[in-house]
Amino acid sequence: MVNRYYFEGLLNEKRAEAEGLFSVTLRFKDRKVVRGARPGRFVMAWLPGVDELPLSPSGYDYECLALRLTFKVRGEGTRALASLSPGDRVFIRGPYGKGFTIPQADSVRGALVVGGGVGIAPLLPLIEALASSSLRPYVVCGFRSASEALFVNELSKLVGDDLVIATDDGSLGLKGTAVDATRKLLEHKTFSYAFACGPEEMLYALHKMFLSKGIRHQMLLERYVKCAIGVCGSCIIDGLRLCKEGPVFDDVTLSRLKEFGRLRRSPSGAREPVT
């Protein structure tokens, strides 16, 4: 541990997952950071002199004290993270936030998980937990193209044929979006509970669809996160702090959020349209 807030992680493995998408696996000496990992929670990854990034782990190993972080290269911080080599250090604080709550099995008649793009990454630990229980899920993934498809082999091992892949250009699986594929699936499959993560436009469309079908659901939202401890207010959505009350919200809460699917805050704090 570097200090009471940061834990030193050594990069054990780096892997290119798809076009512009990478995973890094970090190992720790202190078990606290891994012990607190749960599906949907996030950590802050600090690269000194560069940036600090909020990332929800795509996997963790409690015995080996390892976290896997999966990300898309978008700016200076993610470029720096993608350029690291085995043995390099990344400093982690957290985990933070409220993750997914797995409902009682006897209250669920079919579970559905929907991921869009890199949004499938933080859903993997949830899918693993569901697949190892009696709530074996059906999974829908949407990507722009086959070159950006993520974790398809891992998902196939977890859920077998209960996997639908959709791509915008039709280069893999169905042609269309994750929303299109979910709509088609609901024409002949029944689910009472759903989980989702991905672009907010996708989540908002799914939220409306699930409400119309009476499907209870939880969604992992993304906002600009700065302090991660509920002080700065950068990640607020309708008065709720993503880092404390989220990043996972249930359908009841989502229905009350007027900014959901419409507005978010820029790094300067100004409200801007969700695009």
For the chain, the domains span: 7-96, 105-273
Q: Roughly what angle, to the nearest 10 degrees, separates helices 152-159 and 124-131?
A: 20
Under 8 Å between Cβ of 148 and 72? no
129-166: per-residue pLDDT in tens?
998 888 889 999 999 999 999 999 999 999 999 999 99
**CATH architecture of the region 7-96:** Beta Barrel (2.40)
Kindly provide the b/e burial profile for residues 191-213, where b requires at least 16 CB atoms within 10 angstroms of the residue's own CB: bbbbbbbbbbebbbbbbebbeee
Average pLDDT, integer, range 263-267: 86
Q: Please state whether beta strands 89-96 and 7-18 pair in parallel, antiparallel, or not at all (unpaired).
A: antiparallel
Can you give the pLDDT at residue 134? 82
- 96 CB-contact burial (10 Å; exposed 0-12 / middle 13-18 / buried 19+): buried
Q: Give me the amino acid identity at 105.
A: A
Can you give the pLDDT at residue 133? 82
192-230: per-residue pLDDT in tens?
999 999 999 999 999 999 999 999 999 999 999 999 999
β-pair partners for 71: 22
Closest among 246, 245, 244, 274 to 262, alpha carbons compared: 274
70-117: per-residue pLDDT in tens?
999 999 999 999 999 999 999 999 999 999 998 877 777 889 999 999
The CA-to-CA distance between both ends of the chain, in Å, stands at 39
Structure tokens at 154: 């891992």
Can you give the pLDDT at residue 4? 64
List the CATH code of the domain at 105-273: 3.40.50.80
Can you give the pLDDT at residue 104? 78
Under 8 Å between Cβ of 221 and 237? yes
Q: Give me the amino acid identity at 171.
A: S
Q: Give me the amino acid identity at 222.
A: E
Q: What is the CA radius of gyration of the chain?
A: 18
Mean pLDDT score across all residues of the chain: 93
Longest dimension (CA), the chain: 54
pLDDT at 3 over 60: no
- Domains 7-96 and 105-273 belong to one CATH topology: no
